[in-house]
Every structure is written in C-alpha cells, then in structure tokens.
C-alpha cells in the first residue's frame, strides 16, 4: 500500500476532462402478484471522459504507437452505504505524433449507470505508464433539479451504422467532455 501511494505521489500527472451528464426517466414498477404498480423516477448518470493524447505514455510495437490506460471509477452514495467501483482497460493507438498533434487527438471514454436521486461523490483515476491523473467531485441529483434531462454538448452526431458504445437510439453521439 505504501509503495502504491509513493508511486502516485511521484508519478507525472495526467490532465483530462470528465463531465457527468444526468438523464431523468420514469420507471413503472409492477408487482404482478399483489396487482400493484408504482411509478418512480430514476436517473442515468453518464460520465464522458476526454484524455488528450499527449497526456499519456506511449510505446512503439512493430509499426504501432500505442498506449495502455486503466480508468478506475468510484461512485459513492453519500446518503446510504452504497458504492460502485469499476475499472476500464483501454489500449489507444495513434498514427504518428505529428498527426495526433495536428488533429488535436482526444481519446474518449464513456460509461454510465442508473441511480436513484441522492448525493454522490465520484472519483475517476487514469493510469498510463508512470503517469496518473484524477478527477474527483460531488454530484447532487434531486427530482426538482431535473425536470428535464441535462443537455449533452456533442462534437459530432451521425447515424450509427456499426453499433458503437456512443450510440443513442440510431445515432452515434460523440460527446464534447470539456464543455
């Protein structure tokens, strides 16, 4: 444990963007045995992370320039003893450093989950080589604050013909996480 803390204290920092977007929906819960039903609001919190290519540690393998990153996510309910922990492992490639710079390449990662209303603390940590970065904040979700869903700023919206993870209905919505 001490060695991990020392590593994190001495590692280069990764600066990245992480914007939560909250969507409100109504859920009808039916009990077919008791013949009852009730309606509850549930919220979908989507985290859009944008990591600039130059923040990551790259290595070359044959003709590829690649980086491996792990993205650890913690969402803690501040009102109840509930937490969600997950880690995503990603491998990103770039054609060349000059082309990545010219295109201002940004790697996007998106993940989300359904939660009831409440107060939450989130912590997102990105590790790549000897670099680490962290974004932590609080998020309060109350029905009265979300009479409608958040507005997602997108950098690109096209028909999704290959069923990507950025799909919303029939569209691929590429978020703009630094808004």
pLDDT tens sequence across 33-83:
877 777 778 898 989 888 999 999 999 888 889 999 999 999 999 999 989
What confidence score (pLDDT) does residue 78 get?
96
pLDDT for 1 beyond 50: no
Sign of CA dihedral 129, 135, 156, 167: positive
Task: State which residues form the domain around 131.
Answer: 2-147
176 belongs to a structural domain: no
Residue 92 domain-assigned (yes or no): yes
Residue 179 confidence (pLDDT) above 50: no
How many separate domains does the chain show? Answer: 1
Q: Return the pLDDT at 172.
A: 64
The verdict on residue 65 lying in a domain is yes
Sorting pLDDT into bands at 50, 70 and 90, what band is 8? very low
Rounded CA separation 72/138 (Å): 16
Short-list 50, 127, 60, CA closest to 94: 60
- The answer to whether residue 160 is domain-embedded is no
67-126 pLDDT tens trace: 999 999 999 999 999 899 999 999 999 989 999 999 888 898 888 898 999 999 999 999
Q: Is the pLDDT of residue 151 over 90?
A: no
- What pLDDT score does 176 carry? 62
141 within a domain of the structure (yes/no) = yes
Does some domain include residue 126? yes
Q: Is 170 part of a structural domain of the chain?
A: no
Residue 74 sits in a domain of what CATH number? 2.60.40
Residue 7 confidence (pLDDT): 47
Query: Looking at the domain assignment, is residue 122 inside a domain?
Result: yes
Residue 52: exposure state from Cβ atoms within 10 A (0-12, 13-18, ≥19): middle
């Amino acid at each position: 444990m001490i060695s991990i803390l020392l590593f994190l204290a001495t590692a280069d920092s990764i600066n990245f963007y992480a914007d939560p977007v909250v969507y409100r929906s109504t859920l009808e819960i039916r009990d077919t045995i008791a013949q009852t039903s009730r309606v509850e609001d549930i919220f979908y919190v989507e985290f859009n992370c944008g990591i600039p290519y130059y923040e990551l540690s790259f290595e070359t393998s044959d003709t590829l320039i690649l980086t491996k990153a792990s993205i650890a996510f913690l969402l803690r309910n501040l009102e109840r003893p509930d937490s969600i922990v997950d880690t995503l492992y990603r491998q990103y490639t770039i054609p060349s450093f000059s082309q990545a710079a010219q295109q201002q390449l940004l790697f996007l990662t998106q993940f989300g989950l359904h939660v009831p209303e409440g107060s939450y603390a989130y912590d997102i940590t990105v590790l790549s080589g000897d670099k680490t970065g962290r974004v932590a904040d609080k998020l309060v979700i109350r029905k009265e604050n979300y009479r409608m869903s958040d507005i997602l700023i997108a950098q690109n919206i096209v028909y999704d013909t290959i069923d990507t993870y950025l799909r919303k209905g029939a569209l691929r919505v590429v978020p703009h996480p630094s808004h």
